[in-house]
Structure 1
Amino acid sequence: MPEVGIVLVGHGRSASALLEAARGVCGESGLADVVAIDAGRGETDDLKKRMRAALDAVDRGAGVLMIADAYGASPCSCGIREATAPPVVLSGLSFNILLKLASLDRSTLSPEELARACVDSARRALAVHVPSPAPAKETTA
């Protein structure tokens, strides 16, 4: 049964760094065939070629999910333009999204279902922690 193909794209070296970190935590199995494209500073002829090749390579008939660091930024826009068939796009590439992705069955879920499951997990992972004020120190005279 074909699986949804996954391409990550991000500025600088963020896509490969996040993928490496996630593989380090959850192993290769759930993320083995995920392709990371590091865009450097943005769109170039080289990026166009790498995006087209990656998107074509991961498309095995079940669709493609492209996870980008920022929707509308040049790496994401390049991926959308270079795709043979329009991919489902999830923006906000993060470590938490990749950990969730590693646990999902890409042979039974559509690209959109995968994206929605990752978004739900990422939302739950967001938090703001404000420490309680430290108790006042007693002074001795």
Structure 2
Amino acid sequence: MPVGLVSVTHGRIGEELVQVACQILGEPALGVRHLPFDRCDDARELEDSLAQTVTTLDDGSGVLVLTDLYGATPCNTAWRLAGDYPVRVLSGVNLPMVLRVLNYADLDLDTMARRAAEGGRIGIIDCGPEAD
């Protein structure tokens, strides 16, 4: 049973990253949903939508929630649900992170979260002239 994946980001950042990752890797082997957030949206409505989405996606393996900015409404909302639902929340979503998730769709939730976070970190490289 694969882990579910939800992107909760400002605008459609998460959705676009997953679409690009799918162009590179093909269709994902796990359930994917997106919850875009606009600053005019109601945080309570986002929390209700996320809870419903997690419940729908979770088949017993849990759900990985990718957010764009630590401390912002999408991340805070997901983090609040973490105590009541089988989710792991990562912030700072980027393409290398999403590629890791889709590449390792067969992993358990905790291992997938670690691999995704690692992929996100090592995918950030200073390519300037002073870089080693």
Q: Where on the TM-score scale, by shorter chain, does this alignment land: which range? A: 0.7 to 0.9
Q: 1:87-127 CA distances to partner (integer Å, 9 max, x unpaired)?
A: 11111111111111111133xx2212101111222222211
Find the structure with the greater CA-based Rg.
1
Q: Which residue of 2 aligns with 1:131?
A: 129
Q: Which residue of 1 aligns with 2:3?
A: 4
Taking the TM superposition and a 5 Å limit, the aligned residue runs for 1:1-141 are 2-30=1-29, 33-41=31-39, 44=42, 45-82=44-81, 84-106=84-106, 109-131=107-129
The secondary structure found in structure 1 opposite 2:8 is: strand
User: Structure 2: any 5+ residue segments left out of the alignment?
Assistant: none
Q: Give me the whole-angstrom Cα distance separating, in 1, the residues matched to 2:89 and 2:47.
A: 17
1:42 Cα deviation from its structure 2 partner: 6.3
CA RMSD of aligned residues (A): 2.1
Normalised TM-score (structure 2): 0.83
Normalised TM-score (structure 1): 0.78
- Structure 1 vs Structure 2: percent identity of aligned residues? 30
User: Structure 1: any 5+ residue segments left out of the alignment?
Assistant: 133-141
Q: 1:119 to 1:39 in 2, by over 3 A?
A: same
Q: Give me the whole-angstrom Cα distance separating, in 2, the residues matched to 1:64 and 1:123.
A: 21
Q: Give me the whole-angstrom Cα distance separating, in 1, the residues matched to 2:40 and 2:54.
A: 17
Q: 1:119 to 1:80 in 2, by over 3 A?
A: closer
Q: 1:24-78 CA distances to partner (integer Å, 9 max, x unpaired)?
A: 22111345x2111111226514323321221111111011211111223111222
Q: Is the 8 A contact 2:67 2:75 kept in 1?
A: yes
Q: Give me the whole-angstrom Cα distance separating, in 2, the residues matched to 1:42 and 1:78.
A: 15
The secondary structure found in structure 1 opposite 2:64 is: strand
Runs of 4 or more above 4 Å deviation: none
Q: Give me the whole-angstrom Cα distance separating, in 2, the residues matched to 1:30 and 1:128.
A: 32
Query: How many residues are paired up?
Result: 128
